[in-house]
Structure 1
C-alpha cells in the first residue's frame, strides 16, 4: 500500500476536530484538511449541548462507551488546563425518589465502580442535603468528579492546534458525496473536488447519508431527536452547587428532565426528548420536508414508535407545557415551584437506529479501506471525543 500523504476530516464538530488534531500528532508532516459546511467550528451538536463532562456512571462495563468515556475525561480535563478553558468540577447527584428508583440506583452505583469512576458514593436524605441543601430524595449517587465545560471552546482549541501544526480548515464547504478510487478518495463538495489518501467522516446528523453515498452499509440510519433546555431566571442561578439528575427509567429511551449548571453560572432545566422535524433547524417548528419524510418512510422508526408510546406521551407534555417541564424538576428541588424560565435554543441528537427500531447505545465506527465513518456517537460523545479520536486513529485500516 502506498504511504499516506494526506487526510481529510469531514466535520468540524468536537469529534472531527479531535480526530484532525490526533492525526497531526500521530503523523507529523502529513497534510490534514478539515472540511466543514458551516461558516464556523462547532455549529451543530457540539455548540448545542449541556456542557457536562460525564464521569462514566451508567455505561456497560467493558463497552466502548465506558472505556472511552473514562479516558476522554482525562484528556479533556488536561486540555482545559493547558488551554485555560472554562471548566468546573461541580459534581453531580443522581437522585432516587421511590423504592423502585433506589433499586436501579444501586445497579448504577455498581456499574460506576466497575468503570473506575472515582469517589462515587451513595447518600441518604441527610447526605443529599450536605451536598445540595435545596435538593430532596430518598437516596442519591454522588459523583464528585462530574464537571462542566464549554465544548465549543474545546473544539476551537483543537482546531487551533490543527492549524498550528500546518493543517487546513475549509469552511462553507459542503461535502455532497465521497468516492473511493485506486489513487485515493475524492470529496465532491460545493467548492469543487478535494482529494486525500484517507478520509474520516465525523458528520453527526448527516453521517448516514454520507456513508450511504460512499458505498458504506445502509444501516444504521439517523433519526433526529430534539432536546429543549430552559434557563432559570437570575435568582435561581445559585440554587444548586452542581448537577441533579433523575434515575434513568428503562421504560423510556432517554434520561428525563434534570438540572444542569453551566460554566457561565446560569442554571438550566432539561432536556426533553422528542422526534425532531429536521436534522439541523434549532428554532420554531423546525420543519425540513426532506428530513421529516425520511423518518416517516423508515420502517424502523415505526417499530420504535410502537414500543415507546408511553414515552411519547410523557415527552409531548413537556414539549407543550413549560410549566409541566418545570414541575418535573421541582420534584428534586422543591423551591423551584413557581419558578420562571426562558426557552434556550434546542439541541438535536444524531441518534442511530437499527433496522429493528432499536437505538444504538454504544459508539459505532465503520472502517473501510480508504474511508472511516463514525456512525453513532451519542452521549458521552463530547466527553469521549479525544479518546474516540485516539481509538479511531490507532485502528485505521491502512
Structure 2
C-alpha cells in the first residue's frame, strides 16, 4: 500500500500505541479520585502536561488537553467570543480556514458577532495590510491557520503576531494542526495567545489533541462539569490518549529536526515529475509546507482518479477529509483565484516522513496510466 493521505490522518506510531496500551492497563484510575491509585494517574497526567509544555517551550498551566483539532478550534474561538463579547463582537479570520474554524465563525454570526473573512492571493496567503485595515476598536480575535490543509500554503504567522502585539485588547489564535512537526512555529513571545494541535495528524491517535492557552488569556468554557483542565475543558481526562499524544509530539519534533529536508526533497521531485504529465497542473506554492501538494487533472472528476488509484492500493484525496464528501469544487482554490476547471478537478497528495521516493515514482507512474486509460475510454 502507498498511503499519501496523511493530512487526513496518519498511521499511529508503534511507540505511541505501546504507550497507550501501557497506560490503559496500568493507570486506568480516574486522575480526580482521591485514593492512591487515582493519585498515581494524576501524577502521570501532570508529567505528560509538563513534557508537552517543554516541547512547546511554554508553561505547564498553559496546556489544555482536548479531543483534537475541531474541539481545540471551537474552544479557542467560541471561548474568546463568549468571554469577551462585552468588549466587542468583531472577529477576523481568512477565506481558507478549516471547516472547524469557518463553521465556528458562522455559528457566532448567528449570535450577533461580525466576522471579517480576509481574502488570499494566488498562493493562498493573506495580505498583512488587509489584516491591519480590518482591525477595529471592537475586534477581539484574529484566527488564522499556520499551514493550509489543502494547498500547504504557509501564513506569515510571525508577522501577524507582531501586529497582534500592537493591539493588546485582541487575542490571536493559530490553527497549527497541519503545521506542527513539519513547519516550525515558536510560541513564546510570538503574540500567539491560543494554538491548536491534533494527535492523529502526527502519528498519534484519533480523539487526542492539545490547545495552548496563554496564561493571560481567559476563555468561556464550552464544557462545564468537574473543572478538569483548569476548568476550561471539564470531563474525565483521557489519560492514555494524553500520554500517547505527548509521545507522538516528541517523536514528530525529532523527525522534523532530522528529516524535514528529505521531505522537502520528495515534494520537489513530485512537483517536477507531475509537471511533465499532460493536463496536470500544480496548485501548491513551491514555498509551501513540505508535505502537502495540490494538483488539478483537467477534465477528470477527482473521485475517478481516486478510485482508479485505489484499485492499485494507492491512496490520495480531494481536499479536507472534513469536507471531501461535499461538492466537487474546492473553496480554497476558488479563494486563490483559480478557474472552475482547476477548482473542480483538484487532488491532494499529502506525505509523511515514512514515505519514500520509490513510492512516489510508482504513484506518478500509476497516475499517468490512470489519466491515459481514462482519456482512451472517453475518446
Say yes or no: TM over 0.5. no
Under a length normalisation based on structure 1, what TM-score does the superposition of the two structures give? 0.24
Higher normalized helix content (fraction of residues): 2
Under a length normalisation based on structure 2, what TM-score does the superposition of the two structures give? 0.25
